Structure 1
Amino acid sequence: MKTDHTKARTGCGFYSAKPHARSCSRPFIQKSRSLLAAALLSSAAFSCGCAGFVAGQNTNPPPPTYTISGTISPSAGGSGATVTLSGTGSATSTANSSGAYSFTGLANGSYTVTPSHSGYTFSPASQNATVNGADVTGLNFTATAQTNTFSISGTITPTAGGSGATVTLSGAATATTTVNSSGAYTFIGLANGTYAITPSHTGYTFSPTSQNATVNGANVTGINFTATASATFSISGAVTTSGAALSGAAVALTGPAAANTTTNSSGNYTFAGLGNGTYTVTPSNTGYSFTPANQSVTINAANQTGVNFTATVTQSHTVALSWIASVTTTVTGYNVYRSTTSGSGYVRINSSPVTLLNYTDSTVANSTTYFYVATAVDSNGLESSFSTQATAVIP
């Protein structure tokens, strides 16, 4: 028997002797064992030199990874906060007791970091970070404790009295709101505390007139009111002159409500739809004075009648002035002066030189005495001295 040494290819491209056993004499077998041992040692050496290749493994180093980190302050809001990573990769992390957080093992790419913590808001709400061959640090946030707020709400019925009503809040906070078309109102953003709610609407009364509400960790609802149309009243009277009706006279009302009206052909006037309160009634008409000049009237759950006035014709007076022409040929006009003091205090009453030899003063007052003088004005604007004084007595 002889031994056939064949070659077996190893994974590294080397060859080693591989015996093929056949029948042989013992001495040859011993020799073959020695050769086999040498061949195995040689094969082992080759195999150990390229074990990774032989095993079919990639020996390239893994790609590098990086970290995104930051801090949430103050630590009271940061400690225990959840920080979410999204983008090229996603993960969550919990900020430690100092408010610090980090995401490790990140590949290059774009990420968004978003903190959250019950009872807190964050500024900014989130931040973007780009990993590009280096760690990203200093991605910090500020936590602000949320203040829980609540609301007070209710309705005013019927909607005719509720819609458009004003509701006032006082107490732990103050505010006003307007009731919507359904009669509903709401005050929001309220802290715990005691409040008073009071509705108002012209022409309506409310039941109850006001309500208290206590906010204690929850919204308060059902603070409702009932609106009732208020009773209204009137003020009326007449205006006469010399015992006869004065029609067309203007009458003004001021006070809790304001209005204007005119006397009818019988001299009568009326203001209707008025609530309780004190009003002032004032008549007027060109060419008349009134007695009294006005009247104060108080409505207290009843109509007020007989608020009458007497009109007196106011006489209108004028003063007609005339003078003799100046003998100076360069005179182009005249100025007229007036005073209520004889011999002094004259004030010009014409706006531009008078080219005629007369002038009518229609701005005089009753029971007043006036003193007049005139001057001549030439083409150069030079003015003469005063003329002789004239006197007019207005009754």
Structure 2
Amino acid sequence: MTLGRMSRPPVQTVAGALLLLAGLAFLVGCQGVSAGPSTRVVVVGQLTLSPASKAFGSVPLGTQQSQTVTLTNSGSSVSVSQVSVSGTGFQLSGITTPLTLNASQSTTFTVAFAPQTTGSASGTVTITSNASDPTLTIALSGTGTATAGQLSVSPTTLALGNVVVDTSGTASGSLTASGASVTVTAATTNDSVFSVGGLSLPVTIPAGQSVPFTVTFSPLTTGAASATLSFSSNAQPSTTTEALTGTGTPAPTHTVNLSWDASTSPNISGYNIYRAAYSGSCGSYSKINTVLNTSTLYTDSTVADGTSYCYAATAVNSSDEESGYSNIVSKVQIPAS
């Protein structure tokens, strides 16, 4: 008997079947529902600072300048464990740790600069937390400057009264420095009929001391006049002002002629003449001669019509020593017209 030849199953067919089964198994696995644990997404808190840096500018020694900083959380709850400041002269206040900031919550705190020395200074505020950026910083800067003094003027309004047109009248004031020495560099008025004198500029006034000055009023027309006297200095503020007032009056139609006996004291250089308004009694005397009068005669041509006056004279020797008033002439009446 002849045996027939047996054929072997093709290997390709078996392999193809195995691949198909594997593919079905893969599809079934993909379409099935997983019974394993689900994945949780955690949103980490995020802190921001506003502003991101602080510049204090120039701050005088002995003073302090403060600014506010805002800390905001834009994520989940954040725990702030520490807030600190470094740098000479910088200070921190208004915040206590540990501190919890919930989502969208903000808090503010204060950073101050009180310079200890002149010159530039820098520092840093550092915030430590469990936020996405665990360390936040703010750059700080400032400049310490020499303590600025203050300059005051007295009186605040200087009244020069009635002055005859085309003549001049003067009044005195004073400047006082406080806190620190002040250097005055300029003194100007905004009306040329008022001028300032008696100061040699620039002049440095030590703290607690004063210097005098004079203002001259030289009206060109009749009527009231006013102006502002401005002093420029290195004080704080840098400009100090004084109000000036005066009235130009018509030339008088009357004069008062004065004469007196010469002083018998030795070394007499001349005489000063004083005048006061009279209203029931003699008022406060003011010197009316602008230079020392070397004779025993004087004509007062600055009297106002309808006014009464008192007059006195003093003697001045070569050592610039001045005597007391002479006999006083009272109630010298000037006619009204």
Q: State whether TM-score is above 0.5.
A: no
Which is greater in Rg? 1
TM-score normalised according to structure 2 size: 0.24
Tell me: higher relative CO, structure 1 or 2? Use CA pairs within 8 A at least 6 residues apart: 2
TM-score normalised according to structure 1 size: 0.20
